[in-house]
Homo-oligomer: A and B are copies of this chain.
Amino acid sequence: MPDHPPHHATIDDVARHAKVSIATVSRYINRSARVSPGTAARIEAAMTALAYQPTSAAQKLAGGKMNTIGLVVDEISGEFFQPMLRGIQAGASDAGYDLLIYSLRRTNRAGRYALGEKNCDGLVVFADSLPDDELCRLSETSFPVVLLHRSSPSGFNIPCVTIENKRGARDMVDYLIEQRGYRRIAFLRGHEGHEDSAWRETGYKESLAAHGLEYDSRLVGYGGFDEDIAKETVTQWLRRGITMDVIFAADDDSAIGAILAIKHCNRHVPQDIAVVGFDDIRLANYLDPPLTTVRAPIEEVSRTAVEKLVEVMHGHSVPPVTLLPTELRIRQSCGCC
């Protein structure tokens, strides 16, 4: 008896074993039409006997649906990433989709984006990981896309899901002014193109204005969503003798940098200068002092993005913008106790 190389069972094998046609097997597998109970049982038996597993590539080719959602990120890093992926994976899995991750810092071949229309049924695009024109191109072919932590390029109407950045920042600054009585409030902004940062800054400005405090550009610096950059900026401030009651960092990482800079200059948080952040990463609660921050429901947002994407893929329409609420997390770094 010739023992062939372990050729994996195909749908033909199952059909033969169950004495039906491959069409019937396919129908049974996909529940795409009724098959009689007897036949169903024979097919089921054949499948287990042969340890049959559909070849997804063939299903994709023939069926036209990939059953795959793509996630585009620029880089896998930051405290941000894990809850995001967790949410995305959960959403995809619940909807019965596979997840393909495109990390564009490491694009495969010669700038040509390997992602997209042919290989996924839909795409979740994180922040500014994809240039606007690419986004527009995808949108024009009416390929399902949902944006995460950014809004649609103007003129287009790509649904987006993110958190209430402006509101969160506004709440935080309101709190600092109203409850803590601070007047000189510095702000550490994030990346240039990053919308989260821009909205948070807007919330900051609105709160100042609402309380009759003047916006002072010397109190706004670049934190880069990065511990080291923020540390450098704050150190410069302190060296130049710029004074402030509190530093509102656009994210927790830069808040950490701010705390470090203050300590390095032998000043105390929050007695000399208070510090607050945004995101509520795990670290926040373990810092010394524990960091007052705005909790961003990252996992929920990501999961929601996938849910919206699935809607779009099913041809339903979804609201152009979905915002999830934030929440103040008051700890010691703001001087509350």
Contact = CB atoms under 8 A, between A and B. Distances in A.
Interface of A: 6, 8, 51, 53-58, 60-61, 66, 76-77, 79, 81-82, 85-86, 89-90, 93-94, 96, 98-101, 103, 106, 108, 112, 114, 116-119, 137, 141-142, 256, 282-283, 286-288
A114 B76 contact: no
A106 B118 contact: no
Contacts of A6: 141-142
Contact of A287 (B81, B94, B286): B286
Nearest to A97: B108
Contacts of A77: 82, 86
A301 B54 CA distance: 32
Contact of A61 (B55, B100, B103, B282): B55
A180 B137 CA distance: 63
Contacts of A99: 100-101
B98 A55 contact: no
Contacts of A287: 286
A8 B86 contact: no
A295 to B, nearest CB: 18
Contacts of A141: 6, 8
20 contacts: A6-B141, A8-B141, A53-B112, A53-B114, A53-B116, A53-B117, A55-B118, A55-B119, A56-B119, A57-B66, A57-B118, A57-B119, A58-B61, A79-B282, A81-B85, A89-B101, A93-B103, A93-B106, A99-B101, A283-B283
Given A56-B118, A82-B82, A98-B100, 10 more contacts: A8-B141, A53-B118, A55-B118, A56-B57, A56-B119, A57-B57, A61-B61, A76-B85, A77-B82, A288-B288
B81 A108 contact: no
A112 B47 CA distance: 11
Nearest to A82: B82
Contacts of A86: 76-77
B106 A8 contact: no
A157 to B, nearest CB: 17
A8 B85 CA distance: 30
A77 B282 CA distance: 12
Contacts of A288: 286, 288
Nearest to A109: B96
A58 B118 CA distance: 10
B54 A57 contact: no
B94 A106 contact: yes
A47 to B, nearest CB: 9
Contacts of A137: 51
B118 A89 contact: no
Contacts of A85: 76, 81, 85
A56 B282 CA distance: 38
A165 to B, nearest CB: 23
B106 A90 contact: yes
- Residue with the highest number of chain B CB atoms closer than 10 Å, among A56, A58, A85: A56
B93 A108 contact: yes
